[in-house]
């Protein structure tokens, strides 16, 4: 195979011949003659922070992706509510960051008496109508962090919809297989999946049937550790449990991320765990030869994560998820410690413009965040992941190369590198992630049309 262009390391070379034998790259020759495959050959993508099983399940529900105003959202709900089956109607993926105001319980009550739950795209916030509140209270009692007066729920309920409304085993299996088709279509070979214990058990069952094609590197939720203790040591080429997940704070969109200064409306986020709780989790993970995956978005949560990780002799085994708004000293500390960082450049593209949600809610704290070029200069151990907002790497690559702060922009080559080679490395895989002799021949080709869309 001779590719018209090929990414080798962080450099794009032309007319590159790649010889493959038994699934491995055996020879690479640059300027090898006329190409027979046009486009840019890159290592297949590695998406280091994902929720593809949950996302795939959500595709069975009405989704409000791309709806840009409150009125359009209410029209969508009216249009779909009567056709929705089940005791409770769940709609997913709304993003109110550009709406004139947020959606309320009263808005939903005017539309339907059916129990209705709307979950925001970040997964940290939901709005319920009165019927849904009564339904949940009748079945589960008081719901943590649910304000019954406003219908606003943060953290527990939106993050744990599958606990309150569990999918069937068949639905989970179909979701995994559908997610694999989606991943292959986006040129992704490996994911760092945040998964509940039921999803993990189903992945193992499918893997034992040789039904998995994608490499699933999974983080289990710490509170569900007992549910998977019998399969913690199970691993294969396509499945391995590599981490334990916990939330240190919430999200900016839900105004639950923990900052040292207040949001523009005077509200504040909060830390969700004590240092002692986190140290116990960290030591438990190390005893099991796993890393922690700590969600930390605001500077207070990032500071807490780094403070606790400093107590470990194996800090480079652990991860901080998002690491979105650290103060300058936090960047330097993380780089010096070698802590693994999974960043989401798609958040920059979606909410990080100079007139976007982050700037409106955070004021000058906005400038603390997502300093990709600074991380490069520090030699930090970071890679990119999508968090499925939206799924896939291309949107995020746009966020990295067109960062609103020009000094923080990455080249296309470096952005892809952070979505391939370093992604494989922080997931613990060394046999793929780059186009190099001796590596597995997982190659994705970006068409000219795709490249033109990215670069222009």
Give pLDDT tens digits for 391-409: 999 999 999 999 999 999 9
Domain boundaries, the chain: 1-43+433-456, 64-164, 169-431
The highest-level CATH class for domain 1-43+433-456 is mainly beta
Torsion of CA 416, 420, 421, 426, to 10 degrees: 120
Q: Is the pLDDT of residue 317 over 90?
A: yes
Q: State what percent of residues in the chain have pLDDT above 70.
A: 100
Q: Which of 108, 111, 159, 154 is nearest to 130 (CA)?
A: 108
The pLDDT of residue 451 is 80
Q: Is the pLDDT of residue 68 over 90?
A: yes
For the four alpha carbons of 300, 301, 306 and 307, in that order, the dihedral sign comes to positive
The pLDDT of residue 444 is 97
Q: What is the pLDDT of residues 138-196, one digit of tens each?
A: 999 999 999 999 999 999 999 999 999 999 999 999 999 999 999 999 999 999 999 99
Q: What band does 268 get if pLDDT is binned at 50, 70 and 90?
A: confident
Q: Is the pLDDT of residue 32 over 90?
A: no
The string of DSSP codes covering 178-203 is: HHHHHHHHTTEEEEEEEE-HHHHHHH
- Strand-pairing partners, residue 138, are none
CATH superfamily of 169-431: Metal-dependent hydrolases (3.20.20.140)
Distance CA(298)–CA(263), nearest Å, equals 11
The pLDDT of residue 216 is 98
Q: Is the pLDDT of residue 83 over 90?
A: no
Q: Is the pLDDT of residue 325 over 70?
A: yes
Q: What is the DSSP letter of 166?
A: P
- By the 8 A CB rule, do 116 and 104 touch? no
When the pLDDT of each residue in the chain is averaged and rounded to a whole number, the result is: 96
Query: Which helix (DSSP H) or strand (DSSP E) does residue 443 occupy?
Result: strand 443-446
Q: Is the pLDDT of residue 310 over 80?
A: yes
Using alpha carbons, list the distances in angstroms from residue 318 to 70, 309, 329. 40, 8, 19
Q: What is the pLDDT of residues 186-227, one digit of tens each?
A: 999 999 999 999 999 999 999 999 999 999 999 999 999 999
The model carries a pTM of 0.94
Q: What band does 86 get if pLDDT is binned at 50, 70 and 90?
A: confident
Distance CA(364)–CA(373), nearest Å, equals 19
Distance CA(408)–CA(413), nearest Å, equals 15
CATH architecture, domain 64-164: Roll (3.10)
Q: What band does 31 get if pLDDT is binned at 50, 70 and 90?
A: confident
Q: Of 248-257, 394-403, 442-451, where does mean pLDDT reach its minimum? A: 442-451
pLDDT, mean of residues 82-98: 90
The pLDDT of residue 456 is 66
C-alpha of 119 from chain center:
16
């Amino acid at each position: 195979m001779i590719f018209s262009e090929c990414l080798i390391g962080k450099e794009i070379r032309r007319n590159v011949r790649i010889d493959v034998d038994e699934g491995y790259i055996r020879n690479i020759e640059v300027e090898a003659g006329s190409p027979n495959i046009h486009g840019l050959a890159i290592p297949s993508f590695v998406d280091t922070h994902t929720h593809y099983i949950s996302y795939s399940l959500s595709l069975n529900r009405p989704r409000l992706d791309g709806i840009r105003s409150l009125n359009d959202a209410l029209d969508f709900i009216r249009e779909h509510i009567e056709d929705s089956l089940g005791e409770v109607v769940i709609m997913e993926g709304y993003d109110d960051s550009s709406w004139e105001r947020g959606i309320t319980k009263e808005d939903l009550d005017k539309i339907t008496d059916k129990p209705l739950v709307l979950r925001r795209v970040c997964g940290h916030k939901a709005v319920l109508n009165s019927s849904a509140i009564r339904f949940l209270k009748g079945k589960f009692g008081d719901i943590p962090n649910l304000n019954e007066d406003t219908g606003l729920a943060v953290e527990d309920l939106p993050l744990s919809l599958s606990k309150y409304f569990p999918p069937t085993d068949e639905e989970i299996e179909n979701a995994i297989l559908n997610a694999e088709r989606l991943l292959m279509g986006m040129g992704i070979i490996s994911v760092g999946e945040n998964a509940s214990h039921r999803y993990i058990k189903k992945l193992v069952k499918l893997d034992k049937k040789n039904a998995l094609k994608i490499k699933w590197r999974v983080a289990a939720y710490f509170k569900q550790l007992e549910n998977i203790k019998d399969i913690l040591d199970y691993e294969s080429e396509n499945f391995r449990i590599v981490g334990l997940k916990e939330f240190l704070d919430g999200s900016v969109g839900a105004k639950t991320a923990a900052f040292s200064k207040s949001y523009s409306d005077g509200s504040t986020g909060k830390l969700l765990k004590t240092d002692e709780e986190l140290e116990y989790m960290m030591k438990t993970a190390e005893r099991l030869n796993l890393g922690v995956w700590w969600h930390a978005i605001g500077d207070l949560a990032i500071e807490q994560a780094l403070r606790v990780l400093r107590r470990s002799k194996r800090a480079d085994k652990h991860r901080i998820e998002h690491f979105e708004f650290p103060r300058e000293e936090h960047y330097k500390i993380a780089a010096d410690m070698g802590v693994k960082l999974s960043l989401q450049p798609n958040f920059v593209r979606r909410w990080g413009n100079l007139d976007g949600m982050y700037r409106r809610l955070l004021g000058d704290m906005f400038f603390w965040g997502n300093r990709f070029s600074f991380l490069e200069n520090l030699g930090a151990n970071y890679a990119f992941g999508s968090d499925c907002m939206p799924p896939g790497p291309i949107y995020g690559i746009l966020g990295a190369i067109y960062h609103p702060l020009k000094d923080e922009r990455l080249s296309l080559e470096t952005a892809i590198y952070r979505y391939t080679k370093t992604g494989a490395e922080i997931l613990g895989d060394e046999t793929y992630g780059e186009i190099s002799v001796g590596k597995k021949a997982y190659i994705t080709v970006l068409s000219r049309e795709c490249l033109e869309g990215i670069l222009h």
